[in-house]
Structure 1
Amino acid sequence: MPAAQPKGLSWFGIIRIGLVQASIGALVMLSTTVLNRLMVVEYALAAAIPAGFVAWHYAVQLTRPLWGQVSDKGRKRTPWVLAGLAVLAGGVLVASQATPMMADGFGAGFALAVIAYTLIGIGVGMGGTSALALLASGVAPQRRAAAAATTWIMMVAGIVASAITVGALLDPYSPERLMEVASGLALVTVAVTALAVFRLEQGHVVFEETRKDEPAPDFRAAIAEIWNEAAARRFTIFIFVSMIAFSMQDLILEPFAGLVFGMTPGESTQLGGQHQGGILLGMIVAGVGGSAFKGKLTSDLRLWIVAGCLASAAGLAGLALAAIAGPGWPLGINVFVLGLGNGVFAVASIGAMMGLAGAGEKTREGVRMGVWGASQAIAFGLGGMFGAMGVDIARRVQAHDGSAFQLIFAIEAALFVLAAILAVRAAGSQAMPTRASQAQDREIFA
């Protein structure tokens, strides 16, 4: 009789991890989009201030490889997931309190916001890395790419749902209403996470091939192995460049809607929900139509990555035109198209990431996911800062809001074209890396 196949996480277990991702996305949405818009428009702060906070929370996420290493060495990953979500929710509540404080006493509010975004960065790094490491090590290799795409689609769905709900509840805006909405969101997301991870790791094996009985290497050795591997190194560089392009509009889209199109906080938050809705559809299209759900190593996945980058560039070119056209431009459709391209690019890249997650000779999934998460965090921080500071400088130099936003959107579109060029060499995926197939995987990335 053939040997019984080891039992990994079921699809129900994968969906439970997706609920964790959705909770993380919902909380981060409030801290990086809603509060950002409030600081710039309602409280008339320079765009560089909220961008600095967001960049700082990404800088804190440079600890992701360390959290991954701790997760690799421990017996359980779910306690780190739950602890991370609790810290993240607490940080969001503190940030919601600090935002209106800066209008009355800037120094005290600023200091409190720094503490808040530190907690947010720790929470995302701890909870997010541990959840992705659990997904990479607890899911059967042949379904890793599909599992990753599914959980990320659920994360975007959580962002969309929370953006629409928060946008509806936040109008008419007041600091008291902001705290009520933030408190409700924090309570719901922590409760959902606690239910999702309850006994999640019981009754399934860990897929770590021949490394399962070996001790995890020390942190420096793990980082050195990853960087010396051509496939992982080039993928890290691609993630870095593409995520800078992805994130430059992140902190200026809602202020753009308020300053150029005169939208209220609730309306601009719902516009962000349209962008996330486009991302959601793009992920589904790429996941079903491309190879991200099939777990195959083909050039098809590379084509989806390139197509997503170019579609994103086209959407940003449209926003550059909208910045001059102003009210009357179909902004909602434009933002949805941008999101569609972002989603195609993102889910194809996730498929590639999961294909390489278990490909190390000694390093385990936690550290490898942590390294890519840290690269993404650096890129998001820099991209957000470049976008916001670029708008501030351009507004002063050009003395015209529309022209300033047009310049930044055009630069971002060019960066997506560069990311597409890099993807020609740096994209590829194998959802089931084995010792025999790792050489083939490295050849494609080389």
Structure 2
Amino acid sequence: MSVDPLRRARTRARTRAQALTPTARVVRLRRRISLLFALTSAVGLVAMAVLAVRSDSARWREQLDHAMDADTSWALGLLETDESGRLDTGVLAETVNTDCPPLTVLLAADDDPGRVTVQHAPSKACLSVDPAVVLEAGSAAVRADDTRAFDRRTRDGRPVRVFAQPFYAPEAAEDEGPQGVLVALADATGPRADHQRLVWIVTGGCAVLVLLSAAVGHVLSGRAVRPALAALGQQEAFLADAAHDLRTPTASLRTLAETALRGETDGAEVHRRTLRLAEGMGRLVDGLLTRARLMSGTASVARQPLRLDQLVEAVVDEAPVADHRVRVEAKETVVVADPDLVRRAVGNLLGNALAHGHAPGVPADVLITVTRDGTVTVEDAGPGLPPEVAGALFERFRSGSGSTGLGLSIASWVAHAHGGTLSAERGTRGERGGARFVLRLPTSG
């Protein structure tokens, strides 16, 4: 019974993951990269911080131990022996009767090596600790037969460092234990406060560095996924354009096929209309692929010196102008551009003028001029451009009635790919001014 809820939860998680759009997945990847970058930096900084804190902790303890070792070593030089050869601590006890640093002389019991007794203790020590603390340190040094140091606290709660140095009889055998222990105390308030201050500084510094690392990781991951997001945006735009622009001719083909099946239209007429729709869809698909290549950067721009006036005349000669009137006023002009792309751009501008640059039932009157500065102007005598859409004709879905909207978009991409421009403005021909499209390309000079 417990397996089904877990399985359902995993299924819901997979469903949510599959429901994410590619863009959302890239954004989620960016967040994960930023988090991983921050965690990696945090682990490294924390490891370095722990190492620094431990090193400082060991350093101030070693400094206190070294100072107390010097004091106890000097005091042990005062040891004397009596007539029987036993160590006499009387001179030591009288000499080290100081209050700071407090030194306590302990003697080891003969019957119990782990037990020590106090032979001398300061009368007015500057650091007052529980006698059990001193006895504990002495016993530990006797049992270990070596120096020992501990962190303890005074009676009033101040931190203190306890250092125990064992001493031996002058002629003691190698296996004979210490005769006694000299215990010293050192105030650790200052060093411990400095250490705590360092801990807070290191902790705050690590927190700031982790936040800074997270911000830097977020910026770097954003730059890393920016090309992917741009590519996904271009792909989504291409798919949206393809779906939007193929919907109308596909519906027309379906309607035409249904009409033909019902026998309501002459077969020859159906074939002619089907052929026109197929040719239109072919041009549409070709335009979509060209725009996709331009947007993705896969369409290389083969720049070379080009006679722009001759290219424009060739485009006009090849265009199906029918009953429309197209005039060309061109001066000898050389530009540096890709012939195929410029041919497509000029053809798209001419096609747009022939399709929309005239009133219904009236032939179009188009004037194309080419000037020596690499400018191609296509002007018609049609209804003109509304001011509110003149600057947005080259955006997605800014198409006129019955148009795919790709021709002007591709022409704009071609212009920008060559370092030129394409602008649209109201013309001076026709009753309402017409439309004028100005394509500027860099010249050979």
Higher helix proportion (structure 1 or 2): 1
TM-score of the superposed pair, with normalisation by structure 1: 0.21
Normalized per residue, the structure richer in strand is 2
| Larger RCO (CA under 8 A, 6+ residues apart) | 1
